[in-house]
């Protein structure tokens, strides 16, 4: 997915994160703020190591995530969302709301979405602010 298929905003977006794994990586970073390579591998979907490496690189190249030195060790690498990545929070929330309506989802997610529905704009704004703090 390297070249642009059209100038449609949806198409261009999909060219960046429209695959099976990228949004899951972004999801993990939205919940955790900072993760190591190994942390991503622990996600329940079970991404394989080569795919993860490729996706992390592409997301970094597209400016959605960035690498960070780990404070404890040079052997570890931290990944976090950039502003461009954080700006996907509204998309992520809407996906969750859609999924809640049509799938069976975990209780903790349901609880989160209950909060979202009380004040969607407020929830999103607060979440994004928190992510920007680091």
Partner DNA sequence: TGTTTGCACTTGCAAAACGCAAGCAAACAT
Partner DNA sequence: ATGTTTGCTTGCGTTTTGCAAGTGCAAACA
User: Which residues here bind its own copies, judged by CB under 8 A?
Assistant: 1, 5-14, 18-20, 23-24, 27, 43-46, 84, 87-88, 90-106, 109
Q: Determine, following the binding rule CB under 7 A, whether residue 24 of this chain makes contact with DNA.
A: no
CB nearer its own copies, residue 103 or residue 118: 103
1 binds DNA (CB under 7 A): yes
Does 74 help bind DNA (rule: CB under 7 A)? yes
Min CB(133)–its own copies separation in Å: 21
Angle of the 89-102 helix axis to the 120-133 helix axis, nearest 10:
130
Question: Is the Cβ–Cβ distance between 55 and 19 less than 8 Å?
Answer: yes
Structure-derived torsion over alpha carbons of residues 61, 6, 96, 53, reported in degrees to the nearest 10: -30
Query: What string marks each residue from 36 to 55 as x (binds DNA by CB under 7 A) or -?
Result: xxxx------xxxxxx-xx-
CA 60 vs. chain centroid, Å, equals 12
Long-range contacts of 8-11, Cβ-Cβ distance < 8 Å, separation of 24 or more: none
Among its own copies, DNA, none, the one that 76 touches (CB under a kind-dependent 5 to 8 A) is DNA
């Amino acid at each position: 997915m390297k070249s642009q298929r059209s100038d449609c905003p949806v198409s261009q977006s999909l060219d960046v994160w429209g695959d099976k794994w990228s949004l899951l990586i972004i999801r993990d970073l939205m919940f955790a703020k900072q993760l190591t390579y190994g942390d991503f591998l622990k996600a329940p979907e079970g991404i394989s190591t080569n795919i993860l490496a490729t996706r992390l690189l592409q997301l970094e190249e597209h400016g959605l995530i960035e690498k960070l030195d780990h404070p404890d060790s040079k052997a570890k690498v931290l990944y976090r969302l950039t502003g461009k990545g954080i700006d996907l929070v509204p998309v992520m929330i809407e996906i969750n709301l859609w999924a809640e309506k049509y799938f069976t989802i975990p209780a903790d997610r349901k609880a989160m979405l209950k909060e979202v529905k009380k004040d969607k704009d407020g929830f999103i704004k607060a979440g994004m602010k928190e992510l920007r703090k680091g």
